[in-house]
Amino acid sequence: MTEERLSSEDDGAAPKLPPSHLVPRTRGGRIATVVWIGLFLLSMPPITHRILDRPDVWTGGVPLLFAALFVVYSALIAVLIWSLRRGL
């Protein structure tokens, strides 16, 4: 009986681990993650330094960089609120 139990328990399979919380499990979660990462990349230096940093261009009384970053950060917050309300 001991041999039977050992052979059924030790079948060579790895133990089951709980799913990771870092990987989104739903379609909505994957969409929210991709949109958030895409928006976040817009606020990083290659975009902000080369495309948005135009001191001579003003939008609404502020430099283009500040206006664009305000829009990007607002969109990032909107994605987080959207995912929170949907329970993703």
Q: How many residues does the chain have?
A: 88
According to DSSP, the residues that pair with 62 across neighbouring strands are 59
Six-digit token string for 34: 């991709």
Q: What is the pLDDT of residues 10-28, one digit of tens each?
A: 566 778 877 777 777 788 8
Q: Please provide the distance, in angstroms rounded to a whole number, between the alpha carbons at the two ends of the chain.
A: 47
Residue 40's pLDDT is 93
**In the chain, which stretches have pLDDT less than 70?**
1-12
Taking the model in full, what pTM does it have?
0.69
